Amino acid sequence: MNFLNYIFFTIFSVSAAAQDTIPDYPKAYFGAPIDIPFLLAGNFGEPRPSHFHMGIDIRTQEKEGLPVYALADGYVSRIGVSPYGYGNALYITYPNGFTSVFGHLQRFNAGITALIRKEQYAREQFSIDFSLKPGDFPVHKGDLVAYSGNTGGSGGPHLHFELRDVMERTINPLNFGYKVADQVPPLIGAVKFYPKDETRYIADGYRAAVVALNGMYTLKNGVQKLNAKSVGIAVNTFDKMDERIHSVGLYDLKEYDGDSLIFEYRVDRISFDYIRYIIAQIDYPIFMKEGSRAFQKCFLEHNNLMPAFYYHVKNKGIIDLSDGAVHHIKVVTADYAGNKSILNAQLQYDPKAIAFKSRPNHYMLALSPDTNNIIRGDGFTATIPGKTLLDSLYINYSSTPSTVPGVYSNVVKIGESYDLLSYFSISIRAVGLPDELKDKALIAYKNSGGGISVRGSKWNGDMLSAQTREFGSYFIVVDTTPPKITPINILKGKNMHALKTITVAIRDNLSGIADYHGYLDGKWQLMEMDKSSVLRMALPSGLAAGEHTFKLIVTDDRNNKSEYSVNFIY
């Protein structure tokens, strides 16, 4: 069986992703997490770079410090503190099996803060994540447990709010009866068509404009003729909600071929195992290149096995145009409040149509979505599990000697910039790397924009190996530069009594900060880190007047160390 025949066979022989039955959730059990009405800066399942948004982002009037409350009687089950991700995060588990998650918090109440400080000093580190037992820290409905903030990977003040079930799957909080004012239907910006017959790997997709009238959308050019017998559709759709400022994701998407419902996508529940499958649901290259413009697919990719969001899937949502007749396609997009917009499109197969444009096949290799793919080239090996791919994929690869100083291998290029569903491994042989620098070596990745980042790497014989999720260019570099420590408000002999806090910034040029420790008069002292890598040490109350010594040791991922020590007056 040749490659194109194999592709055609897999299109029609693989069943749809398993459907996920969504139960009825309690509508009046939980109280509000915050005192103000829900206005959202982000909704559940919304497309984000590399992931679905797993909760809702409640706007907090552009300020921090709003009280956050326990939703019901329960207990604090987990606490996280980090300058990244959720920042300050609080997990409360309730008797009915659900757990609330509050993220990006400014701070916690006094009792929870005391628990955190005890754990931080026991471990001698700022970033912590620990769990508690049911009797350790009980809370009651309406208890003030924390304050809203802007910590971690937050782009502005808000409360990130999740509800999870006993299997750690996140649930759309609106399923629990929370209300969000919304009278505005989703908007539709454009449509993209994809060939899904035997031409799918030798032809480009085709984008078409739409026109709108009273919430009804049609294709601008009337009947759309397509030179493929089977096609998939993606719709650029988004919701504005009432205040018409923030764009958020849609809730429900249905596709009809005539009167037959062939595809439904609805964002009710998702497992963290499939958080990265946003790559499969939207046209991800467009999303990344065009300012987060989301084209939602009305069909399933070959390896989209996510057991959620998909209902009434027929033939994977692919439209069969082989009969040559005009097909009346309807796509209905809806928000959680039930506001709808409808796209009506007429599609017809025509082998002479300009859509889809063929492209020459000058590729070296076809990767299979069903088996392990192993690529061996000059000085490198890559192992790409089929399950990491959306579907079969043509690629080129190369291994080219580098002329750039500081690069200690060939430059290995695998495909073009392309994000995978999960990790593949790459191993590269070093060239001209001194033995004394082996423990400083890393595999670096260069993206299409020229940006350099590194991957956690380890030696396997004479090959340096890493796990990664992007195609592109890889090579070996070394990190011998220690982190940089920049004092902000402290210097030798300075009187710090009025300031009461020591502030220092830290940076690393390549491998990243692995650890840091601050000491006051030889004793470890907590230094909190914010998202901009600024450290703050609160000077303890009761600190004796006179001279004291502050010392900071910072280590990066390749064990390069910097130390800063200074005497000050208090």
The secondary structure of 192-215 as a DSSP string is: EEEE-STTTTSB--EEEEEEEETT
Closest CA to 223 of 329, 319, 295: 329
Record the tokens describing residue 261, joined without a space.
């419902």
pLDDT in 10s for each residue of the chain, 570 residues: 333 333 333 333 333 444 567 788 999 999 999 999 999 999 999 999 999 999 999 999 999 999 999 999 999 999 999 999 999 999 999 999 999 999 999 999 999 999 999 999 999 999 999 999 999 999 999 999 999 999 999 999 999 999 999 999 999 999 999 999 888 999 999 999 999 998 888 899 999 999 998 879 999 999 999 999 999 999 999 998 866 667 899 999 999 999 999 999 999 999 999 999 999 999 999 999 999 999 999 999 999 999 889 989 999 999 999 999 999 999 999 999 999 999 999 999 999 999 998 888 888 999 999 999 999 999 999 999 999 999 999 999 999 999 999 999 999 999 988 899 999 999 999 999 999 999 999 999 998 788 899 999 999 999 999 999 999 999 999 999 999 999 999 999 999 999 999 999 999 999 999 999 999 999 999 999 999 999 999 999 999 999 999 999 999 999 999 999 999 999
Helix (H, G, I), strand (E, B) or coil at 546: coil
Record the tokens describing residue 123, joined without a space.
């471990």
Alpha carbons 303 and 370: distance in angstroms, whole number: 9
- At 213, the amino acid letter reads L
Residue 49 φ/ψ, nearest 5 degrees = -55, 115
CB 430 within 8 A of CB 412: no
Q: Can you give the pLDDT at residue 243?
A: 61
Based on the number of CB atoms within 10 Å of its own CB, is 415 exposed (0-12), middle (13-18) or buried (19 or more)? buried
Alpha carbons 154 and 211: distance in angstroms, whole number: 36
Domains in the chain: ranges and CATH: 40-176 (2.70.70.10), 187-349 (no CATH), 365-478 (2.60.220.30), 484-569 (2.60.40.1220)
Alpha carbons 274 and 279: distance in angstroms, whole number: 10
Closest CA to 469 of 399, 389, 395: 389
CA distances, 393 to each of 3, 108, 111, 416 (Å):
11, 49, 54, 11
Alpha carbons 313 and 299: distance in angstroms, whole number: 8
535: Cβ contacts below 8 Å, ≥ 6 apart: 503, 504, 505, 506, 516, 518, 527, 528, 529, 552
Q: Can you give the pLDDT at residue 251?
A: 96
CB 79 within 8 A of CB 86: no
Q: Can you give the pLDDT at residue 416?
A: 86
